Amino acid sequence: MPANQQQYVTAPDWAKRLGVSLPHVLALINRGSVRALNVALDPAGRPRWRIPLTEVEKFELSRLASLPIKPQRRHKRPVLTGVTEYF
């Protein structure tokens, strides 16, 4: 395959791959979370989305689970002797 030719996946195929519904994938496209091409002959008709594999990989990498950041422990203020605190 030539280097300048991209591979694409359809919205239903990607929904199966993710294990989600087709409307969920279409919502990701409409929201702009994933860039896709509408290859329908009539732009005013039913859209036929093709998603580049580079976009699929970028989206999946952005959604990988990572370890939560452990909050830093707060240090207690030292107790001052001989000082009366009013507040």
Q: Residues 20-53: pLDDT tens digits?
A: 999 999 999 999 999 999 999 998 889 999 999 9
Confidence of residue 57 (pLDDT cuts 50, 70, 90): very high
In 1-87 the beta strands, taken as DSSP E runs, fall at 8-10, 37-38, 49-52
- Per the CB < 8 A criterion, the answer to whether 40 and 47 are in contact is yes
Distance CA 72, CA 17 (A): 38
pLDDT score at 3: 52
Which range of residues forms the domain containing residue 26? 11-62
Residues 5-23 have pLDDT tens digits of 679 999 999 999 999 999 9
Q: Quick check: is 75 in a domain?
A: no
How many structural domains is the chain composed of? 1
Distance CA 74, CA 78 (A): 12
Task: Please tell me the pTM assigned to this model.
Answer: 0.66
pLDDT averaged over every residue in the chain:
87
Q: Quick check: is 39 in a domain?
A: yes
